[in-house]
Structure 1
Amino acid sequence: MTATIADEKARNVTVSRGYRFEVVKLVSQWRIRLLVLACWIAPALFVAAVGQQSTLPVDTLFGRWMLATGWAGSLVMLGFAGTWALPLLTSVVAGDVFASEDRLGTWRHLLVAVRSPRRIFAAKALASLSVILLLVAGLMVSSTVGGLVTVGNLPLVGLDGHLLSPGDAAGKVLLAWVCALAPTLALAAIGLLGSVALGRSPMGLLLPAIAALAMQLAQMLPLPVAVRLALPSYAFIAWNGLFTSPAQPGPLLIGVAVSLAWAATATALAYRLFVRRDFTNLAYDGAGRRAVTAGALPVAGLVAVAVVLVATAAGTGFTGSGIDQDKVERSVATAFAHLYRIQARQLNRSDVTEAQLGATAACNKSGGKGAQEGPGNDWRCAVSWHLPDVEATGQAIYQLDVTADGRYVADGDGPKEVNGYFLVRTQTGDAPNPLWQFDGNVELLPTTAKG
């Protein structure tokens, strides 16, 4: 009778009960608690500390605006998280959730208690996902609160120089963080796959971080656009398009879809390996050769299929770098016109519209020699504009450093009174001339609307 009652209770262990048990196991680990504490406190301290400094992280997107608005700090943290923090967090959480049972030799006890590998997998996957979401939420909330408390709820300058109201900035910052969850899920699924396939091997723990590093290196290379979009890492940078007017949602939507496809595929592969595992083998040390045939090869196939689908859908526009002369000229001219108006208000000059300025840009790469496309720090642009009631046409020179992902930094090269370095008065104190240096974004898709 006692054995019958015990069997009945074992059969009644549901996924929800297993999930609660796995969450308790995760948060009871000192390293998980330390990560939660760090994610909910460290970003606020970092943003607040930068807000008290005169030197800003201008090499980071939106870093140059951290003294102008509190919303910039959250975006700086998002850029850092996509590059370093989130890959490491997914490694520690998802990359160890199955491997820890192998190291401790507790699979037999867990199977006796639950009696269902399927429910065990679901409980562990959901528990790791919950902890990862808690960590991401901490990064977002902490960095946002730190920026708003230190600097204030002020307008944010977008990547094309247009001014976003605090309400618009709040909505787009939140949306950018939400979209970053998709590639985070992809890395977490890779962590689950590594944890299942490699057993107690430390490579399972490192797999998400290694995969993220490899994809980041790929994004730095002059690869075709279709290859970039086929990697989930692109979604960590595609949110840049939210901060232009009009917005550039195309790359972001593709990046999110690709990331979710990666997440679903890697999770399904991890589930398939786990439910087929022989738990009676106490010497189990990973799936061995099956880890390649059932894990790595399908993921590589997914990349190839994604490249073909993206390239086929867009035609020949996806076979190149996505950066050409026309796109660079439109982007620089648009950003200059928006920032010129901001400078005029800061210098108490008469306001003019973008239409009145009629700003245009003439850009060339390598002095006009060779193909006028692709990334590089040898782009040079001459911006021309015309003020009402002034016969002379204004002109300013910029040196551009365009990266392979479409982001660029424009550095003013004269005349000094227009785009040279000098301080202007702002709501938060003296700040560099907004036309001196600015960040911009070239949408890589061939469907960019002209503006």
Structure 2
Amino acid sequence: MTATIADGHTAGAGARRVSWVRGYRFELVKLVAQWRIRLLVLACWIAPALFVAAVSRQTSLPSDTLFGRWMHATGWAGSLVVLGFAGTWALPLLTSVVAGDAFASEDRLGTWRHLLVAVRSHRRIFAAKALASLTVILLLVAGMACSSAAGGLVAVGNHSLVGLDGHLLTPSDAAGKVLLAWVCVLAPTLALAAIGLLGSVALGRSPMGLLLPALVALAMQIAQMLQLPIAVRLALPGYAFIAWNGLFTSPVQLGPLLIGMAVSLVWAVTATALAYVLFVRRDFTNLAYDGSGRRAITTGLLPLVGLAAVTAGVVDATTTATGSGIEQEKVQRSVATAFAHLYRLQTRELNRPAVTEAQLKATAACTKGDVADGAKGPGNDWHCVVSWRLPGADVTGTAIYQLDLTSDGRFVADGDGPKEVNGYFLVRTPTGDATNPLWQFDGNVELLSTTPKG
């Protein structure tokens, strides 16, 4: 059988190509018939609910995880904890298992000749496999989102959620933003899935094709932790896995999120197109085909590296952010805003007279190590003094915080006195006793300004 025959160009006059709908249905049935895919679907629709329900009932919460400290207060926090874990580990592994094996499985089983004779179209085969993989991946992501939200709501209830700047989201607002956050991570998931398709086509039965999405995701996570320029980190689709944090501030930090999603979709389209080019050019007469290292580099790796370089250049040219994007003024503004919102929450929980953020006029003075002016960059040596004044009071209140600020702009503020303001003590809330909201809190520094350069 030659490649020409396989493509159907010299097939009998009465032969008819299989429609893409039938091909898609056939590939989807093949995927769902695999025991590991069924196990993944079952796990994604059950495990998150059990995890969130179990953790929400524990006395010790994963406070080092974003929104983990609020899992006692609202059921929506658990879904965001699962989302953070999914973007780091679960989704890269799921795309590896599903998309990374879409074409390689035919090489291992030696079934290409049968499939090509039956379908008689490279294009339809590629489209059917890509769409079937996408369908399964969407089913897995939907399962994690629905399951984690259901587990939290059943275990804790539909209550308000504290945002990353301390402001309170109503239950309906929290529900909408949690759903939107899960939708936003579909973009980088599609990028990893496309990379999986590319690896599966380029590397054949080699296990590296199966591992490629997970390895690429790991490399992007390492890049996000390094003190690389923000433009470089935004040029990688992995940034969209953390940019959803900006949905939970007021005002919403849409700039990094939209750029991250756009970059991810460009990567998804590019990697899929490269996989398609490699697939239609493949010589299926070689039954011992085991991938092409040269083509994998020239048609797969180099274009993606070039895409990252171009994207980094575009982001750098169209924004005012420089370096890590973490600057003293931004940190001070974020800390002061979060403190003011949480002070109001503490006031309400302690049954004290209500006060507004405008009345508090909270400000923060932050230093990093020995740098008092012009401090910048991530680190655990940030030191902030928050000042505010209550209406009718003659004395200005102050509170000290130690900050651990990571390269993605997230920080954890740890209260360092005075004890009656930001020390550890319990307060009464509608959902039971909880720790003082000003003792430790999470915040988010917007790294990127979308104001064009002058």
Q: TM-score, normalised by structure 2?
A: 0.96
1:182-229 residue CA offsets vs partner (Å, 9 max, x unmatched): 000000000000000000000000000000000000000011010010
Deviation >2 Å, runs of 4+: 6-12, 367-371
Q: CA deviation at 1:260?
A: 0.1
Say yes or no: does 1:374 pair with 2:377: yes
* Counterpart position of 1:24: 29
1:363/1:382 contact within 8 Å kept: yes
1:94/1:195 contact within 8 Å kept: yes
2:332/2:365 contact within 8 Å kept: yes
Say yes or no: does 1:274 pair with 2:288: no
Task: Give distance in 1, aligned partners of 2:21 and 2:113.
Answer: 20
Q: CA deviation at 1:274?
A: 0.1
Q: CA deviation at 1:12?
A: 3.5
Task: Give distance in 1, aligned partners of 2:171 and 2:32.
Answer: 36
1:39/1:142 contact within 8 Å kept: yes
Question: Which residues of 2 match residues 217-228 of structure 1 at below 5 A?
Answer: 217-228=222-233
* Counterpart position of 2:105: 100
Counterpart AA for 2:215? I
Q: What value does the CA root-mean-square deviation take over the aligned residues? A: 1.2
1:43/1:77 contact within 8 Å kept: yes
- Which 5+ residue runs of structure 1 have no aligned equivalent? 1-5
Q: CA deviation at 1:283?
A: 1.2
2:246/2:444 contact within 8 Å kept: yes
Task: Give distance in 1, aligned partners of 2:78 and 2:244.
Answer: 15
Question: Which residues of 2 match residues 304-319 of structure 1 at below 5 A?
Answer: 304-314=309-319, 317-319=320-322
Q: CA deviation at 1:10?
A: 5.0
Counterpart AA for 1:388? P
* Counterpart position of 1:71: 76
* Counterpart position of 1:46: 51
Q: CA deviation at 1:367?
A: 3.0
Question: Which residues of 2 match residues 193-232 of structure 1 at below 5 A?
Answer: 193-232=198-237
Say yes or no: does 1:242 pair with 2:247: yes
Task: Give distance in 2, aligned partners of 1:360 and 1:10.
Answer: 76
* Counterpart position of 1:440: 443
- Which 5+ residue runs of structure 2 have no aligned equivalent? 1-10
* DSSP 3-state at the match of 1:237: helix
Task: Give distance in 1, aligned partners of 2:193 and 2:207.
Answer: 16
Q: CA deviation at 1:52?
A: 1.0
* Counterpart position of 1:3: none
Which of the residues 323, 328, 353 maps onto 2:326? 323
Q: TM-score, normalised by structure 1?
A: 0.96
1:227/1:307 contact within 8 Å kept: yes
Task: Give distance in 2, aligned partners of 1:204 and 1:187.
Answer: 12
Which of the residues 264, 269, 284 maps onto 1:264? 269
Task: Give distance in 1, aligned partners of 2:251 and 2:13.
Answer: 60
Q: CA deviation at 1:174?
A: 0.6
Say yes or no: does 1:283 pair with 2:276: no
2:389/2:396 contact within 8 Å kept: yes
Counterpart AA for 2:68? G
Counterpart AA for 1:216? Q
- Residue 9 to residue 169, structure 1, CA distance change in 2 (3 Å): farther
Q: CA deviation at 1:103?
A: 0.1
* Counterpart position of 1:178: 183
Task: Give distance in 2, aligned partners of 1:11 and 1:275.
Answer: 20
Task: Give distance in 2, aligned partners of 1:214 and 1:245.
Answer: 31
Say yes or no: does 1:83 pair with 2:88: yes
Counterpart AA for 1:356? Q
| Paired residue total | 441
Which of the residues 360, 364, 367 maps onto 2:367? 364
1:332-353 residue CA offsets vs partner (Å, 9 max, x unmatched): 0000000000000000000100
* DSSP 3-state at the match of 1:446: coil
* Counterpart position of 2:8: none
